[in-house]
C-alpha cells in the first residue's frame, strides 16, 4: 500500500518541486512578477516550505508589494525565530512600507523596524546587511524618535571590524549625511584604497558631484575606468563635462566611445549620450552639431520633455 501511495504521489511531488525550481530561475532572471505568480499556488499548497515562502516574500518585495512581503517574512520569523535573515528582511520590508505611507502612520511602525534589525544583529554578530540597515536607520531618524549619530557610528565600527571597506563606506555615508564632506571624502578614499570596487569609486564620484567639484569627479572616474574598464564610466565622464561645462573635448570623446561600445548592460540609453553631446556642442556654440545630436536623442525617446526643452535652447543660439 505504501508503495502504491508513493507511486501515486511521486508525479505530484516532482511537479511541485519543478514549479519551485522554475520560480527560482525566474527570480534569478529578475522576472519577479512571474516568479511570484508561480510561487503563490506552490506556497498555498506547501505553507511549511520555508525556502519557497522566503522567495515568495522576496519576489513581492522586489515589486514593492510590502504588505504581502511583510506577512510572509513575519510567518518565517514565527517558524524560525533564531534566523537573523528573517528578522532582517522583515525589518527591511516594514521600513520600505514606512517610506510609502504618511509620516504619522509611519511613526507607528518605526519601533518595530528598529526592533527587527536589532534582533537580527543580536542573533548574528557577523550580519553585514543588518548593520548597514542600522547605520542608515539611526542617521535618517530624527533624534526625537530615536535617531542617533553616535549609534550609527557604533554600527559602522562593527562593520569595519567585519569588513574594513564596508566600515569605511558606512563612515563616509554618515559624514556625508551629516554634511561633513571633508570627513566623508577621507573615508571614501580609504574605501577605494582598501577595496577599490565600483561602489567605492561611485560614492566618491557622487560626493564630488554633489559638492560641485567636477574636475575631481572626472579624475576619480578616469581612475575607476583604468581599474574596472567599464564602458558606463565613459558616459559618466561625458555627463559631468556636459553638465559643468568643463573639459568639453574629453567629454565629447568619452561619449563617442560610449556610443561605439554601447550594450544594454551599460544601463544608460544611447539617447542620453546623444543629449549630453548636444549639451557639449551647445556650450561650444556649435549649433549644427548640437541640433544633430539632440535630434538623434529625440528620435530615440520622442516623449522626453528634457530633450524637447534642450532643442528649444539650441535653436535660440
Residue 278 contacts residue 293 (beta carbons within 8 Å): yes
Measure the CA–CA gap between 18 and 167, rounded to whole angstroms. Answer: 41
pLDDT of residue 303: 92
Cell numbers 556625508: residue: 176
**How confident is the model over 279-302, as pLDDT tens digits?**
999 999 999 999 999 999 999 999
Structural domains in the chain, CATH included, are 139-230 (1.25.40.10), 238-317 (1.25.40.10)
pLDDT of residue 112: 94
**How confident is the model over 127-136, as pLDDT tens digits?**
999 999 999 9
Residue 95 contacts residue 133 (beta carbons within 8 Å): yes
Measure the CA–CA gap between 110 and 93, rounded to whole angstroms. Answer: 11
pLDDT at 14 over 50: no
Split at pLDDT 50, 70, 90, the class of 3 is: very low
**How confident is the model over 192-211, as pLDDT tens digits?**
999 999 999 999 999 999 99
Vertex 222 angle, CA 217 and 224, to 5°: 95
Measure the CA–CA gap between 191 and 65, rounded to whole angstroms. Answer: 34
| Residue 71, C-alpha cell as written in the block | 506577512
pLDDT of residue 141: 84
Measure the CA–CA gap between 294 and 281, rounded to whole angstroms. Answer: 10
Residue 20 contacts residue 53 (beta carbons within 8 Å): no
| Residue 173, C-alpha cell as written in the block | 555615508
In the chain, pLDDT over 70 holds for what percent of residues?
94
pLDDT of residue 17: 59
pLDDT at 6 over 50: no
Over residues 264-271, mean pLDDT: 93
**How confident is the model over 45-99, as pLDDT tens digits?**
989 999 999 999 999 999 999 999 999 999 999 999 999 999 999 999 999 998 8
Over residues 214-220, mean pLDDT: 97
Q: What is the mean pLDDT of the chain?
A: 91
Split at pLDDT 50, 70, 90, the class of 9 is: very low
Over residues 165-184, mean pLDDT: 97
**198: enclosing H helix or E strand:** helix 198-210
Residue 255 contacts residue 278 (beta carbons within 8 Å): no
| Residue whose C-alpha is closest to residue 137's, from 170, 182, 180, 184 | 170
pLDDT at 22 over 70: yes
pLDDT at 10 over 70: no
Alpha carbon separation from 302 to 163, 231, 267, 290 (Å, rounded): 46, 25, 19, 17
Residue 261 contacts residue 234 (beta carbons within 8 Å): yes
Measure the CA–CA gap between 216 and 303, rounded to whole angstroms. Answer: 34
Over residues 143-156, mean pLDDT: 87
Note the Cα 116 to chain centre separation in Å: 21
pLDDT of residue 309: 95
Residue 70 contacts residue 58 (beta carbons within 8 Å): no
**How confident is the model over 43-55, as pLDDT tens digits?**
999 899 999 999 9
Measure the CA–CA gap between 154 and 139, rounded to whole angstroms. Answer: 11
pLDDT of residue 184: 98
Amino acid at each position: 500500500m505504501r508503495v502504491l501511495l508513493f507511486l501515486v504521489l511521486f508525479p505530484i511531488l516532482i511537479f511541485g518541486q519543478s514549479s519551485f525550481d522554475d520560480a527560482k530561475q525566474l527570480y534569478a532572471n529578475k522576472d519577479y512578477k512571474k516568479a511570484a505568480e508561480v510561487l503563490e499556488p506552490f506556497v498555498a499548497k506547501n505553507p511549511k516550505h520555508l525556502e519557497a515562502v522566503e522567495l515568495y516574500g522576496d519576489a513581492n518585495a522586489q515589486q514593492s508589494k510590502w504588505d504581502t512581503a511583510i506577512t510572509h517574512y513575519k510567518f518565517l520569523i514565527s517558524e524560525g525565530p533564531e534566523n537573523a535573515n528573517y528578522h532582517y528582511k522583515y525589518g527591511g520590508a516594514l521600513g520600505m512600507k514606512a517610506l510609502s505611507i504618511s509620516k504619522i502612520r509611519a511613526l507607528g511602525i518605526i519601533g518595530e523596524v528598529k526592533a527587527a534589525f536589532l534582533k537580527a544583529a543580536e542573533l548574528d554578530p557577523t550580519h553585514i546587511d543588518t548593520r548597514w540597515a542600522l547605520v542608515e536607520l539611526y542617521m535618517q531618524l530624527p533624534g526625537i524618535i530615536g535617531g542617533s549619530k553616535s549609534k550609527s557610528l557604533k554600527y559602522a565600527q562593527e562593520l569595519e571590524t567585519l569588513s574594513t571597506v564596508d566600515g569605511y563606506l558606512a563612515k563616509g555615508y554618515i559624514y556625508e549625511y551629516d554634511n561633513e564632506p571633508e570627513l566623508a571624502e577621507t573615508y571614501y578614499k580609504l574605501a577605494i584604497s582598501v577595496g577599490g570596487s565600483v561602489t567605492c569609486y561611485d560614492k566618491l564620484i557622487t560626493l564630488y558631484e554633489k559638492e560641485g567639484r567636477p574636475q575631481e569627479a572626472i579624475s576619480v572616474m578616469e581612475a575607476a575606468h583604468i581599474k574596472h574598464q567599464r564602458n558606463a564610466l565613459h558616459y559618466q565622464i561625458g555627463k559631468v563635462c556636459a553638465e559643468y561645462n568643463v573639459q568639453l573635448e574629453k567629454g565629447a570623446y568619452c561619449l563617442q566611445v560610449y556610443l561605439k561600445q554601447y550594450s544594454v548592460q551599460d544601463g544608460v540609453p544611447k539617447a542620453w549620450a546623444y543629449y549630453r553631446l548636444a549639451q557639449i556642442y551647445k556650450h561650444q556654440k556649435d549649433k549644427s552639431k548640437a541640433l544633430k545630436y539632440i535630434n538623434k536623442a529625440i528620435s530615440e525617446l520622442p516623449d522626453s520633455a528634457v530633450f524637447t526643452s534642450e532643442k528649444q535652447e539650441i535653436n535660440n543660439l
